[in-house]
């Protein structure tokens, strides 16, 4: 508990990270409460209010079918956050497993796994995702799986690096002397001490996954209409940018603020979890 208190205290010293955390909390809360706080049904068509500018009835205006933009942005946040968390969860799971095996066993196992990581990193990630999505049916489940399966390499390298250092520590030698099996040694002793950089990578990964999903939806390969997504709202804004500026401005700001907030939180966590900074402060 004291460790968590120290980490929280260090995190709160970074005011920008605190602001980012507040924004992230507000976004998550609004997405969970979307059925309650959204003023309109996001798929409800109103032919009498097509491309209506922001007013008292529709605070952020309406789109080309008369649908309320504020409601669609609120509901679209559920899609973006769902993709971000699930895709990063898949990436972390794969990265931890492969990174742990490579770092713990070393030798030929490490060489084979790291060469596979290098091969995966050689492919432009976004174009690889585009190729897979073009083959499979574009829906939210496919997007989450593809982003997760193509985004684990950095996590694997981080975990491997931590394992290479930790497995030489005295507590690992003591556990070996007690006859502890490799599986238990990895899961119970080494892995918990290697997770700090993973938490930071996960925070940045959520921002990247949200941005990737928005890009795919913008290109028509992500969440399909009429389901709202920030990316497909931007597509409508592109088609009507000369007469309906609000369709591009507000979802673009939603993406910008969300990605920026997660990056700020990630930077705060990186500083709060870095033991080298702890030592520097003590000196």
Of 27 and 128, more confident: 27
Domains identified in the chain and CATH numbers: 13-37+67-282 (1.10.3720.10)
Give which of 77, 32, 61 is closest to 259, Cα–Cα: 77
Angle between helix 2-12 and 15-32 (nearest 10): 100
Tokens 């795919």 — which residue?
216
3-class DSSP state for residue 262?
helix
DSSP state of 53: P
DSSP state of 192: G
Cβ atoms 72, 42 nearer than 8 A = yes
pLDDT in tens, 70-108: 999 999 888 888 888 899 999 999 999 999 999 888 889
pLDDT in tens, 245-254: 888 899 999 9
Strand partners, 68: 62
**Spacing of C-alpha 4 from chain mean position:** 23
Query: 186 pLDDT band (50/70/90 cuts)?
Result: confident
Give the per-residue pLDDT at 72: 92
Residue 22 predicted with pLDDT over 90: yes
Give the per-residue pLDDT at 254: 92
Residue 275 predicted with pLDDT over 70: no
Give the per-residue pLDDT at 2: 62
DSSP result, 134-177: HHS--SHHHHHHHHHHTS-HHHHHHHHHHHHHHTTSHHHHHHHH
Region 195-206: mean pLDDT is 87
Of 160 and 140, more confident: 160
Give the per-residue pLDDT at 79: 86
Region 171-180: mean pLDDT is 80
Q: Is 23 exposed, middle or buried (0-12, 13-18, 19+ CB in 10 A)?
A: middle
Q: Which two three-digit tokens encode residue 155?
A: 């996590």
Of 275 and 108, more confident: 108
Give the per-residue pLDDT at 276: 58
Task: Write out the H or E segment, with its range, that includes residue 75.
Answer: helix 69-105
Whole-model pTM: value is: 0.86
Query: 8 pLDDT band (50/70/90 cuts)?
Result: confident
Cβ atoms 77, 25 nearer than 8 A = no
DSSP state of 190: I
Query: What's the rounded Cα separation, in Å, for the pair 231 and 213?
Result: 7
């Amino acid at each position: 508990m004291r460790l968590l208190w120290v980490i929280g205290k260090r995190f709160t010293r970074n005011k920008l990270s605190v602001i980012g955390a507040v924004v992230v909390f507000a976004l998550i809360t609004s997405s969970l409460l979307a059925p309650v706080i959204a003023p309109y049904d996001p798929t409800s068509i109103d032919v009498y209010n097509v491309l209506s500018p922001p007013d008292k009835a529709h605070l952020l205006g309406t789109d080309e079918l008369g649908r309320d933009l504020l409601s669609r942005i609120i509901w679209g946040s559920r899609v973006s956050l769902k993709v971000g968390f699930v895709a990063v969860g898949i990436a972390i799971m794969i990265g931890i497993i492969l990174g742990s095996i490579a770092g713990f066993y070393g030798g030929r196992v490490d060489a084979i796994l790291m060469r596979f990581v290098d091969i995966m990193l050689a492919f432009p990630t976004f174009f690889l995702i585009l190729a897979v999505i073009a083959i499979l049916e574009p829906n939210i489940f496919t997007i989450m799986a593809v982003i997760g399966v193509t985004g684990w390499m950095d996590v694997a390298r981080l975990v491997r690096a931590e394992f290479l250092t930790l497995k030489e520590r005295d507590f690992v030698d003591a556990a070996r002397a007690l006859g502890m099996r490799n599986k238990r040694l990895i899961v119970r002793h080494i892995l918990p001490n290697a997770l700090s950089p993973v938490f930071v990578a996960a925070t940045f990964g959520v921002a990247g996954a949200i941005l990737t999903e928005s890009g795919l939806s913008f290109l028509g390969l992500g969440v399909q209409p009429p389901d709202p997504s920030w990316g497909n709202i931007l597509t409508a804004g592109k088609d009507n940018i000369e007469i309906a500026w609000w369709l591009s401005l507000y979802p673009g700001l939603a993406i910008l603020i969300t990605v920026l907030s997660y990056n700020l939180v990630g930077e705060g966590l990186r500083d709060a979890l870095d033991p080298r900074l702890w030592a520097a402060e003590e000196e």
